[in-house]
Amino acid sequence: MLYELRLYDATPGNLPGVNDRFGNHVVGFFAKYGIGILGFWTEEIGTSNRLTFILSYEDMGDREEKWRKFSSDPDWHKVQAATEVNGPLSSQVVNTFMRLTPYSPEPKISSNIQELRVYDVVPGKLPALHDRFANHTSGFFKKYGMDVIGYWTDVIGTSNRLTYMLGYESLAEREKSWKAFAADPDWHKAVAESHRNGVLVRQSRNTILRPTSYSPR
C-alpha cells in the first residue's frame, strides 16, 4: 500500500474555503475514483491556514491513474473555478509518498487528537531507529495509553526519515502520557543502548492535529 501525505497551505483567510471545498466536493471526487482517505486535519498546534491529509493507493501506478481521472473530471474543473472566483485558495502544496514500516499497525483513526511526528535520521542510522521503535518505543507508547496509528518511511521524498502518527483523547491526556513516558527508567536505558555508537536522530518536529468535520472516523 502506498500512502501520500499532502500539506495544503491556504492563502490568508481562506482555510474555511479550503475546508468547504474538500468537505462538500473533493471528498466525493476521491470516493468516485477510489482514492483511499486516512484523514483530514487542521493544526491545533503548528501552522495556521494549513490542511493536512493522508491518502492511500495500491501502488504508484494506481495513484497516477486515479489522479489522472480526478484531475480531468469536468465537474471538478467547474468546482475549482467556482471556488476560486476570488483567487486561489492555496499558496503551496507539498506532498510525500510513503510506505508503512514492517512493525506498523494498519492505520486507522479512532482518537480525538492526533500528533504527526517526523524524525530526520543521522545518515546510516535509520535501521537502528527502526530497531528501537519496533522493539522498544512502540511498547512504551502503548504502555502509557498512546494510540499508535502508523509508522512510515518515504518512498519519494526524503531518505533517512521516519514519519509516524499517534493519537490521544485530549491534549491533557497527551501531556500526561508523554510525561510518564519521558520519566520511565526503562525507556532511558533503551535510548542509551541505541546511542552506543552515536545519536540516531539529528532533527525532529511534531504537529498536533485535529480531524476536520468531514474526516472519516
77 and 43 share one domain: yes
Euclidean distance between CA atoms 32 and 207, whole angstroms:
30
89 and 105 share one domain: no
Q: Note the pLDDT tens digit of each residue in 189-198.
A: 999 999 999 9
Local confidence band at 217 (pLDDT 50, 70, 90 cut-offs): confident
56 and 15 share one domain: yes
Q: Note the pLDDT tens digit of each residue in 173-185.
A: 999 999 999 999 9
103 and 206 share one domain: yes
42 and 112 share one domain: no
The total number of structural domains that make up the chain: 2
Euclidean distance between CA atoms 100 and 60, whole angstroms:
14
Instruction: Indicate the residue among 98, 122, 155 that finishes a domain.
Output: 98
105 and 88 share one domain: no
CATH number at residue 171: 3.30.70.100
Q: What pLDDT is stored for residue 85 in this prediction?
A: 87
Instruction: Indicate the residue among 61, 83, 98 that finishes a domain.
Output: 98
38 and 123 share one domain: no
Instruction: Indicate the residue among 98, 116, 139 that finishes a domain.
Output: 98
Buried b (16+ CB within 10 A) or exposed e, 8-33: bbbbeebbebbbebbeebbbebbeeb
16 and 86 share one domain: yes
Average pLDDT rounded to a whole number, residues 189-211: 95
104 and 204 share one domain: yes
90 and 106 share one domain: no
Nearest CA-CA partner of 111 in 140, 73, 150, 163? 150
Q: Tell me if 191 is assigned to some domain.
A: yes
Q: Note the pLDDT tens digit of each residue in 145-158.
A: 999 999 999 997 67
Q: What pLDDT is stored for residue 215 in this prediction?
A: 96
Q: Tell me if 217 is assigned to some domain.
A: no
Helix residue spans in the chain (DSSP H)? 15-21, 27-32, 60-71, 74-83, 126-132, 138-143, 171-183, 185-194
Average pLDDT rounded to a whole number, residues 93-121: 96
Q: Note the pLDDT tens digit of each residue in 26-74.
A: 999 999 999 999 999 999 887 788 999 999 999 999 999 999 999 999 9
Local confidence band at 87 (pLDDT 50, 70, 90 cut-offs): confident
Owning domain of residue 171: 99-211
Q: Tell me if 136 is assigned to some domain.
A: yes
Euclidean distance between CA atoms 168 and 147, whole angstroms:
6
Q: Cα–Cα distances in Å, from 45 out to 109, 205, 206?
A: 19, 12, 9
What type of residue is 113? I
Mean of all residue pLDDT scores within the chain: 95
172 and 126 share one domain: yes
